[in-house]
Amino acid sequence: MCGICCVVSLSVQHTAEDFFKKDLLCNLSRRGPNRSQQLTRTVSDLSYQCLFSGHVLHLRGSMTPQPVTDINNNVFLWNGEVFSGIHVEAVENDTQVIFHHLSSCSSESDILSLFSSVRGPWSFIYYLASTHSLWFGRDYFGRRSLLWQFNNELDKAFCLSSVSALSESDNQWQEVPASGIYKIDLKACAISKSLVLTLYPWKYRFKENEIEETFFNGLDQISKDLPACVSLRMNDSKLSLITPVVPLNRTVSENSVDSHCTNITNGIVTVEDLHGFLADEHKKKLVHHLIDVLSEAIKRRVLYLVRDTGQLSGKILSKPIRKAHVAVLFSGGIDSMLIAALADRHIPSEEPIDLLNVAFMIKEQNKQTKQKKQLELHSCEECFKKLDTTPVVNVSCFNVPDRITGRAGLKELETINPSRTWNFVEINVTLEELKRMRQQRISHLVYPLDTVLDDSIGCAVWFASRGEGFITNQGDLKPYTSSAKVVLTGIGADEQLAGYSRHRVCFKKYGLAGLNEELGMELGRISSRNLGRDDRIIGDHGKEARFPFLDEDVVSFLNSLPVSEKADLTLPRGIGEKLLLRLAAKELGLTASTVLPKRAMQFGSRIAKMENNNEKATDKCSRLQSVSVD
């Protein structure tokens, strides 16, 4: 994870530095605490100047300060991870390797095929001196943030950056759409005094040499959000990138609805209900294929980091304790359980795994609702008893649903691997702290997104990934701060395996074909809805978000299956949604967690209950707007 930024001035009166705000620098350096560096390129006969700012979080290989340059005056900023696709030796650095490949590209299509072959998350900025062009963009899913800002009034200046800062006076920042990669011809810009962006969009390759011919139709969509002085076009020769995943299989088979589960009565789902499905050889094969690709994806994400085995965080009863290098955003739900269980396969056995579990204090209740809350907890306890686990239910204000399922999930993981140290980190957030940190930091990171949902999830993920809380040690709660630099999150599972309740609504109304449309659309917009935001939020702690469900091989496998293999929404909640994932979890030896219904983070952590006054998730969030400093 790194912070990258480039400011371009096309004005004779102003240097690029004049446009480079101090708070921007400050916010960038939090993403890359290990090394910050600036570099300027001035081309005075064409009157443009570029300032490149690179901030490095060191995770793998040798420390490589950014920006990197070469003898041809090219400049490269890289915020990414090459997990595969391009060969990187253990002693090499991916920033250097990609830059080296770029430097030896002799045409635009060479550059495009390079970025088409990288597997892993990335955003980058590349200045190619010989053609005076600036290239930049985000990977196919948009797993790394990149924002742009075009300066209208001072004309002739623009900026690209991993993060920005909310302020009242400035021009708007926007997320760079993850529709492809972009090129700006700075020489042409400086001469014509107008800004033209060339977009090279992603296209599917169906067979060898057979590239999707359909015209990319996102151009208008992107253009309409740009200021009038900026125009967007595509290359005349229709150059494009090749998507790293196969297209979604939209096959709707006639009799895909079989009823293994007719015995589910009164809506109570138990883990036994999953048995029937696994008796089917075909299903079982798919389940094992999913486990294999997901396990590989997690392996890449937990092994590619520096593991200094000498690092100890202290001693307990003369037994050395090792530092955790990997943490999981952990609700105890199916997605985070599966990630934790598979991470356990690959992380060295003596190394702890941090399970980050966030809870927001429920507002002081009046008596009536307090009773209701206790009832709610009580019935939850009942349902757990039915599922044969005994949660430690303590009626405390932080005992939110995710805390309860989190504790139960911990027990299951301890059963799967009793010798592993599982650090269940209880992160309790009070209203006061929430307000303070939102104002100081979180609102700037969520920006330019602005809804109530962005606020809830942004805040919940920020506190969870900070990793400051308490762990239980020999019966006592003691303060604990997670040292893990890699944070695994389950995002992408619901979008691909029909986990959200809106998918049930969609299925009821429009059937499987409609559900296909919905899922395809949701994966297409995950960059702008979630990933840029989550990357900015988690990166703010000098940590790196990694998303196993959005590994290219995992997505390709899931995309290749008809939707009826992934979910069966004729079945009740807790089993029908993400069915294939539940079966995988069952095969891994998980128990009650395999049949927990989906619960969105904002409700599970109770942040949505904390302040809101019957807002809709899609409303603009007034709490994010204020920039006043008191």
Applying CB under 6 A, the residues found at the interface with ligand NAG are 23, 26-27, 30, 33-34, 56-61, 63-64, 88, 93-95, 107-109, 165, 167, 198, 235-237, 239, 249, 251, 359, 392, 394, 396, 398-399, 403, 426, 428, 444, 470, 477, 542, 560, 562
d(CA 90, CA 105): 24
CB of 273 or CB of 552, closer to ligand NAG = 552
Minimum gap (Å) between residue 344 Cβ and ligand NAG: 23
What is the secondary structure of 521-556 as a DSSP string? HHHHTHIIIIIHHHHHHHHTTT-EEE-GGG-HHHHH
CB of 194 or CB of 560, closer to ligand NAG = 560
Q: Any idea how long the chain is?
A: 630
Residue type, 92: E
CB of 143 or CB of 529, closer to ligand NAG = 143
Strands in 305-392 per DSSP E: 312-316, 319-322, 326-329, 353-360
The angle that helices 94-103 and 108-117 make with each other, rounded to 10 degrees, is 150
Please report which helix (H) or strand (E) contains residue 207, including its range.
strand 205-207
CB of 365 or CB of 394, closer to ligand NAG = 394
* Residue of 2, 50, 159, 506 marked active site: 2
Per DSSP, the three-state class of 575 is coil
What's the DSSP call for residue 106? -
d(CA 23, CA 440): 12
Place of tokens 């056995």: 349
CB of 300 or CB of 582, closer to ligand NAG = 300
Q: Are strands 122-128 and 75-80 parallel, antiparallel or unpaired?
A: antiparallel
**For the stretch 78-109, what's the b/e string if a residue is b when 16 or more beta carbons lie within 10 angstroms of its beta carbon?**
bbbbbbeebebeeebbbbbbbbebbeeeeebe
CB of 169 or CB of 217, closer to ligand NAG = 169
Taking a C-beta distance cutoff of 8 angstroms, is the pair 405, 333 a contact?
A: yes
> CA angle 578-263-514, nearest 5°?
35
Rounded to 10 degrees, the C-alpha dihedral 614/164/532/101 comes to: 180
Rounded to 10 degrees, the C-alpha dihedral 551/555/557/558 comes to: 140
d(CA 21, CA 502): 42
Structure tokens belonging to residue 16? 């690029």
CB of 267 or CB of 479, closer to ligand NAG = 479
Dihedral (CA of 596, 524, 290, 88) sign = negative
Taking a C-beta distance cutoff of 8 angstroms, is the pair 204, 241 a contact?
A: no
Instruction: Check if 380 is active-site.
Output: no
Structure tokens belonging to residue 485? 């630099």
Structure tokens belonging to residue 612? 């809101």
Residue type, 280: D
Please report which helix (H) or strand (E) contains residue 452, including its range.
helix 452-466
CB of 198 or CB of 456, closer to ligand NAG = 198
Taking a C-beta distance cutoff of 8 angstroms, is the pair 240, 108 a contact?
A: no
d(CA 121, CA 30): 19
Which positions are catalytic?
2
